Each structure stands twice: as C-alpha cells, then as structure tokens.
C-alpha cells in the first residue's frame, strides 16, 4: 500500500517557469515531510523539509506548501533551471522514527532551456 501518493509522474517545464509537484498522505501520525532530489545513478539528496506546525517553508527557489487538514503538501520550484532536471521524491515519516521514510513514486522533472 502506497503510504504517500505523488503526482504528476512526469513534468516538463520551460526555463524560468514554476514546477509544482503534489503529494498526499493518509497516516496522521506522520509529522515530518521531506523532499528529495535524485540524479540518475545517485542516492537522493535532501532539498527541503517541513513539519506540520507551519503551512509554508521557503529555501531559495524551493517552497513547500503544507495543508494539514487536507493531508497534502507540495513542492514549488521557482525560476526552474535545466540543472533542476532530476527525479523528485516526497516522503513522510514519524519524527520519533526519522529515517523510516515512506517515499512517493517520484516525479521526473525536465526543464527545457
């Protein structure tokens, strides 16, 4: 059973545009929601993470929006660049067991120059 559902599966954005990836979860015990970026043949790298006590977190061009009541969170990449082309995964875990991450299926982002 997929604990975290992610969409879209693939996304094509023009350089300078906004990339938006959405995730939804069911388990209300989750209290840590990270986003990871993965390049082919590499392990995932943490981009940004949020906890349910805030509705938005911004770091540079990356913003997480969190809707606790809807059990949804999303990643916004502003001013998307070709170097952002990668696979993005949302994940969720319980803070007390950080590391036991449940990942979404991933979004393959392609940014055209």
Site residues, other proteins (CB under 8 A): 36, 41-46, 89, 98-106, 108
Give least dist CB 86 to other proteins, A.
Answer: 13
Cβ proximity to other proteins: between 5 and 71 the closer is 5
Cβ proximity to other proteins: between 43 and 113 the closer is 43
CB 15 within 8 A of CB 81: yes
CB 109 within 8 A of CB 48: no
Give least dist CB 99 to other proteins, A.
Answer: 5
Cβ proximity to other proteins: between 73 and 103 the closer is 103
Nearest to 36 by CA among 93, 91, 99: 91
CB atoms within 10 A of CB 28: 9
């Amino acid at each position: 059973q997929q604990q975290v559902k992610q969409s879209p599966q693939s996304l094509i954005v023009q350089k300078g545009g906004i990339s938006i990836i959405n995730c939804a979860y069911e388990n209300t015990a989750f209290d840590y929601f990270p986003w990871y970026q993965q390049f082919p043949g590499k392990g995932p790298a943490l981009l940004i993470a949020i906890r349910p006590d805030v509705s938005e977190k911004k770091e540079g061009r990356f913003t997480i929006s969190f809707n606790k009541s809807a059990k949804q969170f999303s990643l916004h990449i502003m001013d998307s660049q070709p170097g952002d082309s990668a696979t993005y995964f949302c994940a969720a875990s319980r803070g007390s067991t950080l590391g036991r991450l449940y990942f979404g299926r991933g979004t393959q982002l392609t940014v055209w120059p």
